[in-house]
Structure 1
């Protein structure tokens, strides 16, 4: 499967995506879907950071409505952008920009396995998604699309509105104002997949 290909590319040996995710502690089993939304007037983007730290179980239906999958192809990322997060934060699609960072709580990306959200976020230029935990299928989709997804609960819990956040992939660090947090540095092959904008490009160029 694509997930096993991605996991094996990272580890250098045949590795199931489930085993790889459990090893890194990235995955959260599906839980009851969270029902929550953000008012369009509620400011959630400050200094390029989308603060959803208080939101658990942000699911793929909220990120990209399921009925749209019949008319919007995941192979057409530009057509996905206007619909991103519409079912959750109406301001997101119009305001998200290149280099933005998203913070969120537990079980990020739960729900249906559609790849549209990861495709859209990567195409929008989102620099990184930092979460407390992530659904394993969404993590797989993120790797496939070259979207950086980091599990670092301490950063999410420490963030306060207006804080400045920066991410270094090479050193495995996240700066929150003047504080430095660490996470396991991404393996070289995974970094290569991300820098080549996804698994398909990585395979083509390898």
Structure 2
């Protein structure tokens, strides 16, 4: 079935099932993707389908209601960021079931809206993948929102410090990711991020120390420093 912008939700779901390859599930499990609701389509394949069907907010909302992992991923690729409200984003995050879903949604959310209040709302939620959303958004915005003032990111350091002790794998890695990406924006942000990383590295808490040490190592890499200065 050839898909296009006129394709219905039913057409798309049928095409996903027809193209699925269950043999991919083992590899997906290996990289930490939940497969209990997956049918076996890769992200590059989903991006091709998203390109074919285009952005359609209503249809994406319908796809999100499907329990199928690939339908939800396609929904995140075809939501219209201009139509997403803060309430929509908070509701979507409550259904996140894997790191890949979070990281794809974070790009969408950053395009829709990036402000400290929304990021804090995600961070304050104790659910692992909802909290990860906060720091995945920071990490993505630090790279893609080049015109955002440095102050927007420096103001988020207390949030990073507050959650650096979260031992859960997908949270602590996102906290670390956010700190590193802020540090690579420019020299000013680098100095501030490195100072926070060194502070965390000296902590007695093992998770905080790991977040700090890894960020120090990343931000002190000579090749990265050379690129930053250039």
Q: Which TM-score applies when normalising by structure 1?
A: 0.32
Greater strand share, 1 or 2? 1
Q: Which TM-score applies when normalising by structure 2?
A: 0.30
Greater helix share, 1 or 2? 2
